[in-house]
Structure 1
């Protein structure tokens, strides 16, 4: 067959194809996704599962005039391929290349940026009502994954949308029975029960095997199925919200998808289409293990993922996972809480060993924090494993439910600092600034893997809320001790004695700071804690040096450097302070080492900034 994909430069080209050609196009798009992700790394399983849905949506709707909001945005590679970015796919998630998520600045077809989950219905409703107010006849479509439907924000939007009877809003539930971690909660159970009904199975079988040769009868059977579901299954949850519920239908069957979408396009008011897809569809290895292929690195598609010949350095996430199991074995009060990030946060072994003390609450960060507060009220010791950038979503709960009540909740903040290929939406750039201003909160910044385990123990020993921030991936490779021995609370350490200039390092940038200090003959302090600051050590160093430099992998505005400047001012000890950290702009995707170098946070950049400000040694 003559390849079709090279002729598709935008959805207008797609809409020129005949319906029978779309299956071939979908196969070519799937092959394109697999080929590119295997070369660059990225999200694979979710994108293989949305190929036909993407083709159908762009075929039926007049995009970009009709708006599509993808939720979560990591399922948009087929969308990017069909909207003029096919030739740029080899740059996916690379420095200067295209993003792994929708970005409004990247394409007119990326109508809304979605890298965190559960925002699509709110955004699409806003777009639909804006069109209505402006007198524009266009549709707004939210494509939301089943995992994203576990978040309260999605239901807040449904509740709001259901009263707007004239809004041209379509919510497509992409039900693939798999979020990043195994799906949890009552909603997932409800969807599973809905899908397991014998009526649906029988109707689908009869419709396909008997009536497909007679299109009028086939359409009649489908309409009968939609009518009969009201007699067989109780009114759906979504109908109670005011939506017209349609489905479930096979999300890989274009002969079902396209006519259904064409019918929905003619309807007014909030519509809800339940589409069932399979993660990893079309690539057997990903179908068999969609979690492993959720976000793989580079690999050979003909071979699949293979274990490296030599064991990689232990990551901070793995250090946390081992610590959690060890501490749980020692203290029966410990409970682990995660908002749908069991694998990402390193909690698989804990779940296996302590299932009764493991709580995955779904993609519901606000609930996770307040749930942990409730556990703490009853004498348990909750550890909330959460990405730095996801804790932002529960800021009120952090203050109102945990900190004001001074409850002993430990927050294990993974992905602190830059995260590389995931870019600005996932960078943990703000936690030092947003945590250190909260009374009763403490924040530890381990410099390496060994300190990470020790400071987690110290945090657990406290009787108030404490967060421990650590980056994605591995550090310098220091081997953690097997014991559960903490470090002194709120105390730093002198790592190198120099003269004139003192570098105060917070977290893993201690090591490039030590390298920079060699050529400058500078003193280096491993501060360990952004809050409380080790004031005694800080004042001692400030009194014996001419200049202070602070280094942190976090936002420089309001960060640890600001805390140092505030403390010196309060002590009426005037010293020039150079604050080095992440600049006041969003840092996009790319190799973490290159991004740090570009921000002047590698050894060379630190030394250069110090020399420019204070002169050579």
Structure 2
């Protein structure tokens, strides 16, 4: 097994394309092993395995700096930076590895403690400015996706990266999903770019002053290596837009992307929950009412009597009980903001001022 021997990305450098694909396959199995036994983010990490292998093959971490948004896509990075035991070992080994980017765990490769969204570009611009002031030459790579572009700080980071005008690489991992479906005008442009192979007339990133490259085959290691090599050591703000598949390589996570964004332990063979105990018995399940279900059922009943009652969620509608069926039932009386929480709070204030509940 390759990944048991990989202590740092340097160990990838001498491998050929066939071996790199084996590394990707082993990394995916390691991620699945951890999340099936320990729980965690499933779909986002599975979709970014090949891109992580390619990034670490082309760039030279820790000199080159990778900044992950939310950390939903950081598990493969951890596997390839000396932490494979947290994905292959026993439960104690797994508990020793955070589900998020963490300098306390690995200061050499994890640049920031990150557990919330839309921050990677802003953090990366700080590294960009530090490099420019010191006169060093490292690549700065921000990785953003999984709906994070809907958060306002992402726009602020893009604005500043463009203003600085020096080399920064922003990898937009476009898996067509947030936690639930995407919401926000920017995703209309991402869809147009996907459908045109990155060539449509209106390009949001170019309008902001970025060099732009599109890769349709975002789960193809060979193609990923080519596009990352083409932007390595750039002296301009650059966006690499890759189209990936959330849950790639695990059929249940591909079939139901929202349900498999994150989850508790599961049976790896068929995706069922709960997993049996080590002695073969089933875990004790205590029957209880689900608050999210109770709340959303109550809201839907009240909405029928009060058309001014609006449910607002910010990228996690199911956490409030608004499953896809219930979102459809609520219709215009449910709004999902994507991950634009500040917009949600301000819009709620405006709606209340305008007479809505």
Q: Same fold (TM over 0.5)?
A: yes
Q: Is structure 2 residue 70 aligned with structure 1 residue 72?
A: yes
Q: Distance in 1 between matches of 2:146 and 2:210?
A: 17
Encode CA deviations 1:193-215: one digit per residue, 9 max, x unaligned: 22123xx3xxxxxxxxxxxxxxx
Encode CA deviations 1:405-435: one digit per residue, 9 max, x unaligned: xxxxxxxxxxxxxxxxxxxxxxxxxxxxxxx
Q: Distance in 1 between matches of 2:225 and 2:3?
A: 19
Larger relative contact order (CA 8 Å, sep ≥ 6): 2
Shift of 1:37: 1.0
1:263: which partner in 2? 230
1:342: which partner in 2? 317
Shift of 1:287: 0.8
Q: Is structure 2 residue 9 aligned with structure 1 residue 11?
A: yes
Encode CA deviations 1:304-332: one digit per residue, 9 max, x unaligned: 12479978412332332222223223322
1:364: which partner in 2? 340
Contact preservation (8 Å) 1:164, 1:269: no
Q: Is structure 2 residue 212 aligned with structure 1 residue 245?
A: yes
Structure 2: gaps of 5 or more residues = 276-281
Contact preservation (8 Å) 2:86, 2:95: no
Shift of 1:82: 0.6
Contact preservation (8 Å) 2:210, 2:239: yes
Shift of 1:183: 0.7
1:273: which partner in 2? 240
Q: Is structure 2 residue 329 aligned with structure 1 residue 331?
A: no
Shift of 1:146: 4.6
Label 1:92 to 1:188 Cα distance change in 2 as closer, same or farther (>3 A).
farther
Q: Distance in 2 between matches of 1:178 and 1:341?
A: 12
Contact preservation (8 Å) 2:252, 2:270: no
Query: Which range moves more in the overlay, 308-317 or 58-67?
Result: 308-317
1:144: which partner in 2? 144
Structure 1: gaps of 5 or more residues = 201-225, 382-617
Q: Distance in 2 between matches of 1:251 and 1:131?
A: 29
Contact preservation (8 Å) 1:336, 1:357: yes
Q: Distance in 1 between matches of 2:146 and 2:100?
A: 18
Q: Distance in 2 between matches of 1:302 and 1:96?
A: 23
Shift of 1:235: 4.6
* Equivalent residues in 2 for 1:429-440, closer than 5 Å: none
The alignment of Structure 1 onto Structure 2 pairs a total of residues equal to 346
**Partner SS for 2:66:** strand
Query: Which range moves more in the overlay, 323-332 or 333-342?
Result: 323-332
Contact preservation (8 Å) 1:40, 1:93: no
Q: Is structure 2 residue 258 aligned with structure 1 residue 283?
A: no
* Equivalent residues in 2 for 1:77-116, closer than 5 Å: 77-89=75-87, 90=89, 97-107=96-106, 108-116=108-116
TM-score, length-scaled by structure 1? 0.54
**Partner SS for 1:188:** helix
Q: Is structure 2 residue 165 aligned with structure 1 residue 189?
A: no
**Partner SS for 2:332:** helix
Q: Which has the greater radius of gyration?
A: 1
1:157: which partner in 2? 157
Label 1:93 to 1:41 Cα distance change in 2 as closer, same or farther (>3 A).
farther
Query: Which range moves more in the overlay, 299-308 or 286-295?
Result: 299-308
Q: Distance in 2 between matches of 1:307 and 1:358?
A: 31
1:393: which partner in 2? none
Q: Distance in 2 between matches of 1:323 and 1:94?
A: 43
**Partner SS for 2:29:** helix
Contact preservation (8 Å) 1:93, 1:99: no
1:176: which partner in 2? 175
Query: Which range moves more in the overlay, 34-43 or 304-313?
Result: 304-313
Q: Distance in 2 between matches of 1:324 and 1:370?
A: 21
**Partner SS for 1:271:** strand
Contact preservation (8 Å) 1:146, 1:173: no
> 1:304 pairs with 247, 262, 271, which one?
271
2:278: which partner in 1? none
Contact preservation (8 Å) 1:249, 1:257: no
Encode CA deviations 1:204-251: one digit per residue, 9 max, x unaligned: xxxxxxxxxxxxxxxxxxxxxx8xx3xxx2151101111101113321
Contact preservation (8 Å) 1:340, 1:362: yes
Contact preservation (8 Å) 1:38, 1:300: yes
2:295: which partner in 1? 320
Q: Distance in 1 between matches of 2:311 and 2:286?
A: 27
Runs of 4+ in 1 over 3 A off after TM superposition: 90-96, 306-312
Q: Distance in 1 between matches of 2:173 and 2:335?
A: 24
Shift of 1:163: 2.1
Encode CA deviations 1:482-521: one digit per residue, 9 max, x unaligned: xxxxxxxxxxxxxxxxxxxxxxxxxxxxxxxxxxxxxxxx
Q: Distance in 1 between matches of 2:181 and 2:274?
A: 23
Contact preservation (8 Å) 1:92, 1:100: no
**Partner SS for 2:84:** helix
Contact preservation (8 Å) 2:311, 2:335: yes
2:59: which partner in 1? 61
Contact preservation (8 Å) 2:69, 2:118: yes
> 1:31 pairs with 16, 29, 32, which one?
29
Contact preservation (8 Å) 2:34, 2:86: no
Q: Distance in 1 between matches of 2:116 and 2:109?
A: 19
